[in-house]
């Protein structure tokens, strides 16, 4: 399998190169050059496999420059019971007759990003070795909260790598912040940026494309790579759980092989749902991908109008990992639905940078809406959904997952479609316990409570266990207390690396 850039500047790259580089040198994103197709028979074979075997089957097709042994090493190191607190890795929970919850939060940091970030470091280290690169890899991450911690945890003490995470200083939850500033490991750094996620992401992109810095880094024996979902090595492991969820439903007799299902995905940077689109293209029987946003509803407007317009107020919501106005991975979808027209992609991305918006026109919009349905949930709707799901089903969901459930309800009302639907649950409710406790037990319940007390309360009142990764967070020592302005991110990198 070879890969090319959405901006047209590079092709025929191997997956090891693509994973090592992170982003293409022309600023584009890498996409596969050839199609991978799974027949129904092949999908049927997945039903008897465990998660690791399913991952081997799906990843093997895309990462074919890795030997089977190399891949096996990566997959079995990542998806082990010492890392995930469910032996199924991504278990499916039946919520109602038509609704299933795909629990993607059983990894060490309690968010779906673990599924990709537990395997990416292994893929990267092997890639660097295969390419006989000698530089130390510096992973730069911009995070709205969950990627940062998942990257720190995935890369901690991984030989030949350093990680620098930039998070919006006041734009992540208390638990998320504590998780990052208490991170252990000799090669990891987290930095609070005075700005929002888009500021952090723009800063990281600017550092990546800084030629002068790149050549100075090379002299000192460093090179940059990315652990954000612009890196193909982050995206491709996410395709696996769409197949895995489908195979589980077939294995349990909930659907027959070949039946269509929908997926509803709480969306920010468009990485998670894009993996679902790739699964659909590969032949997984998917009817609609329901793209769920919070009040930062750029994507809802885009899917409905064809105009991507980031010129709007950035809203801080109770689902902060989706507080994003520039969804990077949309570029890969646009490339696909324009029959791989790099000229158009360059034009639109240029307009977005210059003017703050672009219009893809009716034909492209129509193509997108064949696969996607977009909707959003307001703050009060999200909290009401958490309460309603708990009261009806005794099941506790986090704020992001609640956004997806609420938008799914709107989808059913709007379309009448009763196709069985899998909701992707992207975080443990404990990670956002303040909002969750407030939603279930009322404003009074959270008053004057520390984050730690809220975790305890959620656990006791709802009868669920605090995950290992979040226990005793308040007692851990703070190891990182650097902050910087959004214009000083480059300087901060230079000072951390001493270059
Ligand atoms: C990152 C994240 C999302 C958004 O996923 P994208 O791939 O950026 O669309 C949703 N929910 C949670 C909990 C997340 O951490």
pLDDT tens-digit readout, 90-102 = 999 999 999 999 9
Q: Summarize pLDDT for 369-408 with one digit per residue, the tens.
A: 999 999 999 999 999 999 999 999 999 999 999 999 999 9
- Is the pLDDT at 209 greater than 90, yes or no? no
CATH number of 256-434: 3.40.50.1100
Query: Ligand 1 pocket check: which of 266, 277, 290, 326 to mutate, most ligand atoms within 8 Å of Cβ?
Result: 266
Q: Which atom of ligand 1 is nearest to the CA of 270?
A: 9
Task: Give the pLDDT of residue 208.
Answer: 85
- Is the pLDDT at 198 greater than 90, yes or no? no
Q: Which atom of ligand 1 is nearest to the CA of 400?
A: 11
Reported as a pLDDT band with limits 50, 70 and 90, residue 150 is: very high
Task: Give the pLDDT of residue 173.
Answer: 84
- Is the pLDDT at 364 greater than 90, yes or no? yes
Distance from Cα 182 to the centre of ligand 1, integer Å: 22
Task: Give the pLDDT of residue 299.
Answer: 98
Q: Which atom of ligand 1 is nearest to the CA of 105?
A: 13
Task: Give the pLDDT of residue 201.
Answer: 87
Distance from Cα 272 to the centre of ligand 1, integer Å: 7
**Atom 15, ligand 1: residue with shortest CA distance:** 146
Structure tokens at 216: 């100075």
Query: Ligand 1 pocket check: which of 142, 322, 327 to mutate, most ligand atoms within 8 Å of Cβ?
Result: 322
Mean per-residue pLDDT of the chain? 96
Distance from Cα 427 to the centre of ligand 1, integer Å: 8
Per-domain residue ranges of the chain: 2-81+113-232+479-497, 256-434
Distance from Cα 282 to the centre of ligand 1, integer Å: 23
Task: Give the pLDDT of residue 228.
Answer: 86
Distance from Cα 221 to the centre of ligand 1, integer Å: 33
Question: How large is the average pLDDT for residues 321-330?
Answer: 93
- Is the pLDDT at 205 greater than 90, yes or no? no
Catalytic sites, residue numbers: 113
Distance from Cα 229 to the centre of ligand 1, integer Å: 10
Q: Which atom of ligand 1 is nearest to the CA of 146?
A: 15
Q: Which atom of ligand 1 is nearest to the CA of 398?
A: 13
Which residues partner with 76 through β-bridges?
none
Task: Give the pLDDT of residue 184.
Answer: 95
For residues 431 and 173, the answer to whether their CB atoms sit within 8 Å is yes
Distance from Cα 437 to the centre of ligand 1, integer Å: 21
Task: Give the pLDDT of residue 413.
Answer: 98
Question: How large is the average pLDDT for residues 270-289?
Answer: 98
Question: How large is the average pLDDT for residues 220-229?
Answer: 91
Task: Give the pLDDT of residue 117.
Answer: 96
**Atom 2, ligand 1: residue with shortest CA distance:** 321
Question: How large is the average pLDDT for residues 115-136?
Answer: 95
Distance from Cα 426 to the centre of ligand 1, integer Å: 7
Domains 2-81+113-232+479-497 and 256-434 share a fold: yes
Task: Give the pLDDT of residue 49.
Answer: 98
- Is the pLDDT at 497 greater than 90, yes or no? yes
Give the binding-site residues of ligand 1, using a 6 Å CB cut-off. 111, 113, 146, 229, 266-272, 321-322, 400, 426-427
CATH number of 2-81+113-232+479-497: 3.40.50.1100
- Is the pLDDT at 474 greater than 90, yes or no? no
Q: Which atom of ligand 1 is nearest to the CA of 113?
A: 15
Q: Which atom of ligand 1 is nearest to the CA of 145?
A: 15
Query: Ligand 1 pocket check: which of 151, 154, 267 to mutate, most ligand atoms within 8 Å of Cβ?
Result: 267
Query: Ligand 1 pocket check: which of 107, 235, 302, 400 to mutate, most ligand atoms within 8 Å of Cβ?
Result: 400
**Atom 1, ligand 1: residue with shortest CA distance:** 321
In 3D space, the residue among 154, 102, 142 whose CA is nearest the CA of residue 279 turns out to be: 102
**Atom 11, ligand 1: residue with shortest CA distance:** 426
How far is C-alpha 176 from the chain's CA centre?
15
Task: Give the pLDDT of residue 46.
Answer: 98
């Amino acid at each position: 399998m070879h890969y090319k850039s959405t901006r047209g500047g590079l092709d025929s790259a191997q997956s090891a190169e693509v994973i090592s580089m992170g982003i293409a040198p022309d600023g584009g994103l890498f996409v596969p050059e050839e199609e991978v197709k799974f027949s129904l028979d092949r999908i049927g074979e997945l039903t008897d496999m465990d998660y690791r075997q399913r991952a081997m089957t799906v990843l093997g097709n895309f990462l074919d420059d890795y030997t089977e042994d190399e891949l096996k090493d990566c997959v079995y190191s990542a998806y082990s019971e010492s890392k995930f607190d469910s032996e199924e890795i991504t278990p499916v929970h039946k919520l109602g007759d038509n609704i299933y919850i795909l629990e993607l939060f059983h990894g060490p940091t309690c968010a779906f990003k673990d599924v990709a970030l537990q395997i990416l470091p292994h893929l990267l280290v092997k890639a660097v070795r295969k390419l006989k690169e000698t530089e130390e890899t510096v992973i730069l991450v911009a995070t709205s909260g969950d990627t940062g911690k998942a990257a720190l945890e995935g890369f901690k003490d991984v030989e030949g790598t350093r990680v620098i995470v930039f998070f919006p200083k006041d734009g992540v939850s208390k638990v998320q912040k504590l998780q990052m500033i208490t991170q252990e490991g000799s090669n990891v750094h987290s930095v609070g940026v005075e700005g929002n996620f888009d500021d952090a992401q723009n800063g990281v992109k600017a550092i990546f494309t800084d030629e002068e810095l790149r050549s100075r880094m090379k002299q000192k024996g460093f090179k940059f790579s990315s652990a954000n979902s612009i890196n193909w090595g982050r995206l491709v492991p996410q395709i696996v759980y769409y197949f895995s969820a489908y195979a589980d439903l077939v294995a349990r007799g909930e659907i027959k092989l070949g039946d269509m299902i929908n997926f509803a995905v709480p969306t920010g940077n468009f990485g998670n749902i894009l993996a679902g689109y790739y699964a659909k293209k590969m032949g997984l029987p998917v009817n609609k991908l329901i793209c769920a946003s919070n009040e930062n509803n750029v994507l809802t407007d885009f899917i409905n109008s064809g105009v991507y317009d980031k010129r709007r107020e950035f809203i801080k919501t109770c689902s902060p990992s989706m507080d994003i106005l520039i969804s990077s991975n949309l570029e890969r979808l646009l490339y696909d639905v324009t029959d791989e027209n790099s000229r158009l992609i360059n034009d639109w991305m240029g307009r977005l940078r210059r003017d703050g918006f672009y219009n893809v026109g009716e034909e492209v919009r129509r193509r997108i809406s064949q696969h996607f349905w977009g909707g959003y949930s307001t703050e009060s709707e999200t909290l009401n959904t958490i309460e309603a799901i708990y009261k009806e089903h005794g099941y506790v969901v986090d704020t992001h997952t609640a956004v997806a459930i609420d938008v799914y309800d709107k989808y059913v009302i709007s379309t009448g479609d009763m196709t069985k639907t899998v909701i992707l649950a992207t975080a443990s409710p404990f990670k956002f316990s303040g909002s969750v406790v407030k939603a279930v037990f009322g404003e009074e319940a959270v008053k004057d409570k520390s984050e730690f007390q809220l975790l305890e309360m959620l656990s006791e009142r709802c009868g669920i266990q605090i995950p290992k990764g979040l226990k005793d967070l308040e007692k851990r020592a703070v190891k990182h207390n650097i902050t910087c302005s959004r214009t000083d991110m480059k300087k901060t990198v230079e000072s951390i690396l001493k270059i």
